Amino acid sequence: MKQVPGGIAAPKGFKASGVHCGVKRSKGDGGQPAVKNMPEHLSDKKDLALIVSEEPCTACAVYTMNRVKAAPLYVTMDHLENGEAQGIVANSGNANACAPLSHEHAEEMCVLAAAATGLKAADFVVASTGVIGQELNIGAIERGLPAAAAALSREGSGDAANAIMTTDTVKKELSVTCSVGGKTVTIGAIAKGSGMIHPNMGTMLCFVTTDCAITHEMLDQALHEIVPRTFNRVTVDGDTSTNDMCVVLANGMAENELIEWKDDGYTVFYKTLHHVFEQLARNIAADGEGAGKLITCTVRNARSEESAERLGKAVVGSSLVKAAMFGSDANWGRVLCAMGYSKAPFRPEFVDIRFRSAVGEVEVCRQGAGLNFDEDAARSILEQDEVIIDVNLNEGEHEASCWGCDLTYDYVKINGDYRT
């Protein structure tokens, strides 16, 4: 496994682009489309992404568990009924959810993408992210898609990653190679996510491309096994959005022997895809709205992976734990308290807790009881960019890691005026 440049356009046969079309308002443009002759100071307000494969792809997706789903998800579900796709079109700045003409506009985005690329509307996955309840400026997208199509390139991943950002502060992209049957297989991805993040797909979009030759059944199985162990173990604020999806397109252009069952090739592909998803999950948690630090909770020696996961989610999802991490306060009682209401089985009197970071570690609880520890050393450990809450249950052989972030004043500020 090796990390390589190129992001979502790194696999053979894929190109990507991202442009500003006017869905987002940019300073100085009054919200009007600014695709042609874009002033340099507006170029960071990209809001329309396009990803296209040279060849048809095997395609699979998972979607938000929220009962309220945005129109693009339903259109994508319909287009992926045959297990195939060849492109992705996505906008930021407007969720196209619970809004006038939302389904019609989602379908129209696919029609416009098809016209700009020479493909069919049914070949496209469609996604939107942003404000809920406001009608999508489909005219801006219509004017922007020809520019997006013209800009498609093997170097376009960064622009596409920028174009799907909302409150994200950094773009999220990754590409990795592995060897499957002597052939080099590449997996590339971009993602967005910062707020409304909670297990069962928080407000996140993740688009994944690969040149691996793999059947729909095997790709779908890998996706549905890995997402619960990565993206569904992230929580920022306990909210699950209306627009979340994770989509994988595989065009087979690596020319490896087709993966049809769980052989050695599948194992390598699975591990590589898991690595990509886990890194992006960590990046999303670290970039939580207003976040100052990434919190990882690893629960070890549990009776089952399920119980370890439930305990870890409770810890990183606790507002009191998150607030303590913001204040660099080694308040381990909040960790044990969160575990206690998780409804997962464990013996509190067996639990050991440590706080770890790049500068060291401190044991704060042993067998369910507090220890004397150096408060200054603990504060120094908790002041780092990533803090690990290590929970040892001393009851079994299973473990799980979950990810979250601290709760800061900026989270409230960001969400207090998000719509306006």
* Residues with catalytic function: 203
Distance CA 355, CA 387 (A): 7
CA–CA separation, 416 vs 420, rounded Å?
9
Helix (H) / strand (E) element for 190: namely: strand 183-193
Q: Are 288 and 236 in contact (CB under 8 A)?
A: yes
Angle at 65 between CA 307 and CA 234, to 5 degrees: 50
Q: Whose CA is closest to 64, among 122, 121, 129?
A: 129
CA dihedral 173, 175, 176, 180 (to 10 degrees): 130
Q: Is 228 helix (H, G, I), strand (E, B) or coil?
A: helix
The CA dihedral of 402, 165, 57, 78, to the nearest 10 degrees, is 90
Task: Compute the Cα dihedral for 108, 111, 117, 123 and give only its sign.
Answer: positive
3-state secondary structure of 367: coil
Tokens of 257: 């022997």
- Helical segments of 232-331, H only: 264-286, 305-317, 319-326
Sheet containing 398-405: which strands, arranged edge to edge? 369-370, 360-366, 352-357, 386-392, 294-302, 398-405
Contact 97, 133 (CB under 8 A): yes
